[in-house]
A and B are shown apart, each in its own frame.
Chain A
Amino acid sequence: MITQIIINTIITGSIYALVAIGFNLTYCTTRFFNLAHGTFLAIGGYIFLWLTQTHSLNPILSVIIAVIFAGFMGWLSEKAIYKKLRDNKSTPMVLMVASIGLMTIIQSVIAICFGSQFRMLGIDYNFSVYKVFGAAITIPEILIIATLIITTIVLAVILKYTKFGKQVRAVGDDVVLAKAVGIDSGKIISIIFFLSSAIAALTGILIGLNSGIDPLMGFNWLIKGVIAAIIGTVGYMNGGVVGAFLLAFIEQAVIWQFSGEWKDAIAFFVLISFLILRPNGIFSKRSSHR
């Protein structure tokens, strides 16, 4: 039982972490809560569904197309909405409200095109179930964990050692100074939106293969990702991952002790507790090290 709780914590924590990473990426460069981020999970899932089930396209090719398409949509959202608002000197609150609007539009469009019912992406693949120390784990779940490990390592290397990564961190530190040293902050932010949306889309596909998708899935996962980001200090990439696993562990422990109905309640209890007791998250002292 304990092994299954640990495995479930790792799987759920990995999903939360992937969502938190994408959310933190956009937050650390633009300093606003992009609540539309979650909808890119749904975009990825539904594009994959459309390509594989309607057009019978190769699943791997479908993943690539869905991820690139979602990345492009993220890039477009930055160019067409958020950049214009920033140019108009809009406050982070205005940008957040705009992101809620975009989220609602995307959810509605998905529901109109594909219907509101729950859809299974993995139904055709008959994934095997493996046993790890007596606990069950499926191929999509292994892929979720692997995706988190690869994403975390690749992003850490990019942010620390590449010219692009240094520019991202410079923009995140001070966008005005970044501009003054000749960094094209608009281009950097656009690329970050592409990357974070692409990561969200891949996460959405893996969630869909593991359980299923619906037009509102993005918001539900985003809320957990945002709670994880807040626990681990918003904008601090590694903190979001730690926050994700802490949140997932608390949820799984509560499910084990009580029932699944307590899962969301305990997540928000943890959030409110952090907002009162440690509003800047676990790593608040390190937040300037981002």
Chain B
Amino acid sequence: MVENSVKLLSLRGIKVHYGGVKALDFKNEKGSTDSVDIDEGEIVVLLGPNGAGKSTLLKTMFGLTPVSSGEMIWKGSKVEFNSKKMSELGVSYVGQDKRIFASLTVLENIEIGGLGLRNRNILKERLAEVLKTFPDLRSRLYRRAGGLSGGQQQMVAIARVLMAHPKVLLLDEPSLGLSPKILKEVLTVVQNINRDRKMAVVIVEHNIKSALKIADRAYILDKGEIVFEGSADEALTNDIFIKVFMNTK
């Protein structure tokens, strides 16, 4: 599965255990895929039933999970599993549990995404750029982020990570707590950002059809293993998809 060309981000032979229980295992006797590769500017969706290891994989990509073995490669060079390092390289993560700092204002939440920027002019430029992408936030800048609706909070979270001009955006369950209409809006924004900024996006999403609609490629995970890798179109029609989601594997 691993191509020779240099990928933006690759994870190889990853094993993650939580208290002795397997959460991720890229290489096993059954010969499942042993790597996950992300290319520049593509949208990749991670699919699988509950407990398949999708969110763990996303967290591992951002260095938030202690791994038992395996390696992470960034543009051909091995990197350590460390969230601060990954941020510096240009990887941003929006989790599923808590996306925003509730007690901070919308503006402060967004500014936190630009903490690494030393030049105030660049910070202002980025802020203007982000507000152009999310015009609805402009009138809410000085409101407490905790008082916003779920959809608006998701927008604030994405706006925050965009401040750093990431090369890879990791999105865990953007639909959580959102109505289908708002999810559609969020995914449209993600698609626009991907198109305009050539930013790779990796999404974990239970709303499979909506996610595959905007994705280029998909990985299907089952019990911590990668059981499918292919185009978004292939994923829906593949036998493995049915087996995994019907639990008949």
Residues of A within 8 A of B (CB): 163, 166-167, 169-170, 172-174, 176-184, 288-290
Contacts and interface: CB of A to CB of B under 8 A. Distances in A.
A173 B64 contact: no
B95 interface: yes
B103 A169 contact: yes
Contacts of B246: none
Contact of A170 (B104, B146, B161): B104
Nearest to A163: B115
Given A166-B112, A170-B101, A288-B103, A180 B62 contact: yes
Contact of A184 (B84, B97, B112): B84
Contacts of B97: 176
Interface string B114-147: 0110000000000000000000000000001010
B102 A288 contact: yes
Contact of A289 (B62, B92, B99, B103): B103
B104 A180 contact: no
Tell me if A's interface is mostly helix, strand, loop or mixed: helix
A289 B101 CA distance: 11
Given A180-B64, A180-B83, A169 B104 contact: yes
Contacts of B99: 177
A177 B103 contact: no
B36 to A, nearest CB: 20
27 contacts: A163-B115, A166-B112, A166-B115, A170-B101, A170-B104, A173-B101, A173-B102, A174-B102, A176-B95, A177-B95, A177-B101, A178-B101, A180-B93, A181-B87, A181-B92, A181-B93, A181-B160, A182-B84, A182-B86, A182-B87, A182-B116, A182-B164, A288-B102, A288-B144, A289-B103, A289-B144, A290-B103
A181 B113 contact: yes
Given A177-B95, A288-B146, A183 B115 contact: yes
Q: Interface extent on B, as a size class?
A: 20 to 34
Contacts of B113: 181
A177 B101 CA distance: 8
A172, A182, A184, A289: residue with the most chain B Cβ atoms closer than 10 Å: A182
Nearest to A177: B98
B88 interface: yes
A189 B112 CA distance: 17
A110 B88 CA distance: 45
Contacts of B116: 182
B88 A182 contact: yes
B108 interface: yes
A169 B164 CA distance: 20
Nearest to A28: B103
A181 B103 contact: no
Given A166-B112, A179-B83, 4 more contacts: A174-B98, A177-B98, A181-B161, A289-B144
Contacts of A290: 103
B214 to A, nearest CB: 23
Nearest to A290: B103
Contacts of A176: 95, 97-98
**Which 4 pairs across A and B sit closest by C-beta, in order of nearness?**
A182-B87, A173-B101, A173-B103, A288-B103
Given A182-B87, A182-B88, A170 B112 contact: yes
Contact of A182 (B83, B98, B101, B104): B83
B115 A182 contact: yes
A49 to B, nearest CB: 41
Contacts of A163: 115
Contacts of A170: 101, 104, 112
A181 B112 contact: yes
A203 B164 CA distance: 41
Interface in B153-177: 160-161, 164
Nearest to B146: A288
A185 to B, nearest CB: 10
A80 B60 CA distance: 28
B111 interface: yes
B147 to A, nearest CB: 9
